[in-house]
A and B are shown apart, each in its own frame.
Chain A
């Protein structure tokens, strides 16, 4: 049976990994390649590298990072951050990235998702969606979560799937950094509405939160950053915990 995936996310700024509490306070947690290798050895199923400064600073490529990671790691990885064109994606895939994620650029130009999935195949196109609850609805935000859009989360997620995304990486900004658990309700709603895999992000604080996200929210993968970076939950311990609860885990 296909295993549920545990994905450490490495937010990268100027070549170093950082993780913000609600995206605002940044703390340094080391070298991305070294950290990635450590996670791979510990049993991480995949890695996500997000250049969190990219959207604001318009940095175009993370080609060197892709190359460094592909050289040293033997598990799949995704690179995201400021990716806005077919050329950007071509460069990253050519430098060894297995998947790329797009976020703000897909909101600005939704047709980009169609173009990318047609050209490179759905399996390597991840669409990242950051959203938070405003009154009673979930509103998509862009530019590292700083700018609200007029898109409603579930409608946008369905559109993204129809346009050919291979996966959705959904971050609840309300939960991100709080360590109070994933956005279970919203994730379950999304799982019920979509056919493509969903990576849940934002809010992981305990091993139990991962059990909830896989069973109650039916997510395909659980992503987290600081709890791994600061050794709060070692990956081997987390995987053992989930296996003991009959969740399919590598």
Chain B
């Protein structure tokens, strides 16, 4: 199995790489379109600001390549947000794989922004999640969230219910960091790696 982690100047991606190594996968870091197309699984990470990062995506021509992929693709954190239609962060046009919007959390009493730490996921889509992970804790760090939509594959409550994960055809996304979510995150990553 060849796993590509898309390398496009998107912040801390080393932890994703090391996590894959812990599950016996030596991932390839690349932005080369041929290598990306040839991979059996593609991971699209992202940390940072949406408009800047989307700029890197366009510079590399990845805005054409990513939506055309047919193998399983997993966007993580900002990666998942960039797979949506539009982000309020920098009023950014995104990849449009998931027809949903990215909005900013409005801080309220006792609800600090960013949403940072361990929170629970529920209503899990069996395509992305192995059994028995309902209401388990995973690790989040984000100030913007994806609204609930037909593509929501897991829900988390913080200020309001939002999309903790998404799924459409061969495209998957997690707002949380599976690579930082202990054994629960490990199970989710392994399940993705084992997708047909």
Binding site for B on A (CB under 8 A): 1-3, 5, 40, 45, 67, 70-72, 74-76, 93-96, 98, 121-123, 166-167, 195-197, 220-221, 250
Contact = CB atoms under 8 A, between A and B. Distances in A.
15 contacts: A1-B120, A2-B115, A2-B119, A5-B118, A40-B182, A74-B180, A74-B182, A75-B182, A76-B180, A93-B12, A96-B14, A98-B180, A166-B114, A195-B107, A221-B117
Nearest to B141: A123
A167 B116 CA distance: 10
Interface residues of B, number: 34
Contacts of B179: 74
- Residue of B14, B107, B177, B183 with most chain A CB atoms under a 10 A cut-off: B14
Contacts of A1: 119-120, 157
Interface string B110-146: 0010111111100000000000000001010101000
Interface majority SS (helix, strand, loop, mixed), chain B: mixed
A123 B18 contact: no
B21 A71 contact: yes
Interface in B64-87: none
B120 to A, nearest CB: 7
A81 to B, nearest CB: 19
Nearest to A66: B14
Given A70-B18, A76-B139, 17 more contacts: A2-B158, A40-B182, A70-B14, A71-B21, A74-B22, A74-B180, A74-B183, A76-B177, A94-B14, A96-B12, A96-B14, A96-B18, A98-B15, A98-B141, A166-B116, A195-B112, A220-B117
